[in-house]
Chain A
Amino acid sequence: MTIFKKTLVAGSLLLASLGTAHADGCGIEKGTVSILANDFPALHAVVGGAEACAGGGVEFSKNHNKDHKDIMVAALTSDPSEYTTVIVANSTLVTLMNDGLVRPIDDLVEKHGGSLAKNQLITVDGKVMAVAFMANAQHLFYRSDILEAAGVEVPKTYDDVLAAAKAIKDKGLMDYPYIGTFKSGWNLGEEFVNMYMGTGADMFKAGSAELDINNDNGVKTLEMLKSLTEYMNPDYLTFDSNAVQAEWEAGNAALSNLWGSRAGAVLDDEGSTEEIVAGTAFASAPMLGDTPATTLWWDGFAIAANTSDEDAEATFIAMMNGVTTEMANANPDEAVWLIDGYTPGAKAVGVAASAQAGAKPYPMLPYIGALHTAAGAEIVEFLQGSEDAATALADMEAAYNAAAKEAGFLE
């Protein structure tokens, strides 16, 4: 993961050139820039930078929407598309590419993307399809004060996590030392994918959409998820990131594998006590086998296919104005920026450490969504104790096969 490391520690050589390139009105005279994005502070910062290009002949509009995933396909299918750019992640770029809704942007990168680092470019089959600007991953959040009181080290593997949780519980420090985003559906599916990644094995047979999880690795994954639930609040199947953050800030848990993008919110001076904030620290996601049991995510922007070349160019320039080094360094705690010249703060440690320990990116496979959905629904009964791991895996495979067939991935 040297590329990643380089980005995070690289100097701010390009800072000066950036400043001049986008000096007045960011160099666009006319065009339409309309942005569809998720709704969290890091993206507000990026879109805010792009918004500076508004005015004159430039028509600017933005839509920060938590449900952007659900509307983006329809919005980009129309011709001309409703938005000229969408802020995407690993999983959503695939969805758009499946239908050919985003365009290759090699020419724009060459013309206007001089400040981009090579690893910011998402290339598929040799063509640049998106520009990434931030990284995210679920990684270990721990309470150093509680671990110390329990007399345990910072866990490196999930077996360590179980041992630490047991020590904390046995000492009577907490009833439910572990917490995770186990809400059935997307969150639980993500926990499964993360944990399975920890085994180091692939989830699909090479070169096909055929699932390959109904094996020892699958059983190992499920058994570990179930062992964790023994140290979790019994309501765990209703916990999403918001609930986990609230429980953490209330001091009800000491160990969690939570999204890096929550680190800033946990450490800020809202919603918690000084003791809890001071005790909270981050580390790489724990290993299951030899790999951290997590997936690396990136957020970036892609340009709509069904839009004119002029608007595409205007949009690209405006977005470049949003992903500057100044923006990154002005918002160091909102995200782990992939932008050159950004100096990562204390809150970025977990994501960086996970990447360095060899965590894999979330697979950009066209059919991964079907697996994710099947996992989030079918392992619930196993966790509740009403079926065994083999049945859960068989169910998951059957649910996946039916969905993948309907979507045209399997014959």
Chain B
Amino acid sequence: MPHRAFFWFILPSALAMLLFIALPIVSVILQSVHIEHPKVMSEVETCGPFNCTTEMRVDAEATAELRQAQPLGKYIGLETYLNRNHLAFEVVKTQWQEREGFFSFIRGLYNLPFYKALAFTLTYTFVVTPLVIVLGFSIAVAVNAIPRIMRGSVIFVSLLPMIVTPLIGSLVLFWMVDANGVIGSAIQHIFNDPNLSLKASPFLTWIMLLVYGVWHSAPFAFVVFYAGLQTVPQDTLESAMIDGASRWERIRYVVLPHLAPLVTFVALIQLMDNFRVFEPVVGFNASASATSLSWIIYNDLFGQQQLFGSAAATSMLTILGVCILLMPVLVRTWRQYKVVH
């Protein structure tokens, strides 16, 4: 394609991307380096149904004047990124200097909201992604092997976890793993412990969320791999069979190499998806034991005190995290591209 034609071809989507992706990110960056103006406050008498007291009150007019002069707020550079509720480098430094061992340092780190969320987010990403690929592939191979007449219904059932809205899916499972629910009481019965509860301990909560993650995402990998399986060259498969390759050897040496680009694709999508894990934390009421980066952003925006700067800073850190995660895959794709061209 000549450069000129390419330019006109790409222009509409480039404009849309600029408008809907690049500009919002710029606005988020701007918000993350500002905080609200100092509030002008005074003590006034307040009376309600129960009593009268003297309480602090924000002088809305005086504060509005400040805001009018500088609508973005007070510029503070990277301070929000570095404060205790985010990267907290200073706290981490002190903790490192005063550590009583590596384990206690990690515990101190885990006590900071950002690192607590990062710990779960990374665990979720790196446990769920490979399991989803393995499980999705296994289901695809299994479904591909059953008689054609049954495939339709089996595929439909396998896709159900993905069809259900994540929030609803996690709510359904939340009530099923309740001590009074089907799964919850079955587990109590199996382990013969009437006080066992998946929601009570942080460890079991994490396991529950990881299992949910695999359950929810496996159908996606399954669909992609199943589609890929239909394109595996039958000639190669047949010649492998004539050569005496077993079923496992055919998968290992014929099917897998053929599906390798799809594995990269699924891994890429899953890394991004899982890194922004959010709904299960809300659906499972799990915020006591597991928080994620996306959940922190949500919490900053919908708490009693809305913190736009904090939410913006966490958003930028999340974008940075996604970039780092995708780096190896992107570098590899770029190298392959250079080899081809």
The residues of A with any CB-CB pair to B shorter than 8 Å are 1, 3-4, 7, 69-70, 73, 90-91, 95, 97-100, 119-126, 132, 135, 183-186, 207-209, 233-235, 237-238, 240, 296, 298, 338, 355, 360-361, 363-370, 372-373, 377, 380-381, 384, 386-387, 391, 395, 398-399, 401-403, 405-409, 411
Across the interface, B80 reaches (CB within 8 A) one of A124, A125, A406, namely A406
0/1 string, B32-63, CB within 8 A of A gives 1: 00011111010111111111000111101101
Report the bound CA distance from A183 to B281 in whole Å.
13
Distance of B133 from chain A, by nearest CB (Å): 31
Q: Whole-angstrom distance between the alpha carbons of A97 and B57 in the complex? A: 9
Query: A188: nearest residue on chain B (CB-CB)?
Result: B288
CB distance from B79 to the nearest CB of A (A): 9
- List residues of B (231-289) whose CB comes within 8 Å of A's CBs: 284-289
Q: In whole angstroms, how far apart are the Cα atoms of A124 and B59 in the complex?
A: 11
CB contacts (< 8 Å) of B91 on chain A: these are 398
* Inter-subunit contact B202/A391 (CB<8 Å): no
Sample (28) of A-B pairs whose CB atoms are under 8 Å apart = A1-B50, A3-B49, A97-B60, A100-B63, A122-B46, A184-B287, A207-B43, A207-B56, A234-B200, A237-B288, A238-B286, A298-B49, A338-B49, A361-B49, A366-B41, A366-B58, A367-B305, A369-B304, A386-B107, A391-B111, A399-B85, A402-B84, A402-B85, A402-B310, A403-B305, A406-B307, A407-B36, A408-B35
What chain A residues lie within 8 Å of B197 (beta carbons)?
A: 233-235
B contact patch SS: loop
Chain A nearest CB from B291 CB (Å) reads: 8
B303 with A369: CB separation less than 8 A: yes
Q: Smallest Cβ distance from B296 to chain A, in angstroms?
A: 10
A340 to B36, CA, bound (A): 42
Determine the chain B residues whose CB is within 8 A of the CB of A97 once the complex forms.
Answer: 57-58, 60
Could you say which residues of chain A place their CB within 8 Å of the CB of B74? 408
A-B pairs, top 8 by smallest CB distance, nearest first, are A100-B60, A369-B304, A234-B200, A184-B288, A125-B44, A238-B285, A237-B288, A369-B305
Q: Report which B residues bind A (CB closer than 8 A).
A: 35-39, 41, 43-51, 55-58, 60-61, 63-64, 74, 80, 83-85, 91, 107, 111, 113, 178-179, 195, 197, 199-202, 284-289, 299, 302-307, 309-310
A384-B289, A398-B91, A402-B83 are known; give 16 further A-B pairs, CB within 8 A.
A124-B44, A124-B47, A125-B46, A135-B50, A183-B288, A209-B41, A233-B197, A235-B197, A237-B288, A237-B289, A355-B50, A361-B48, A377-B113, A391-B111, A399-B84, A409-B39
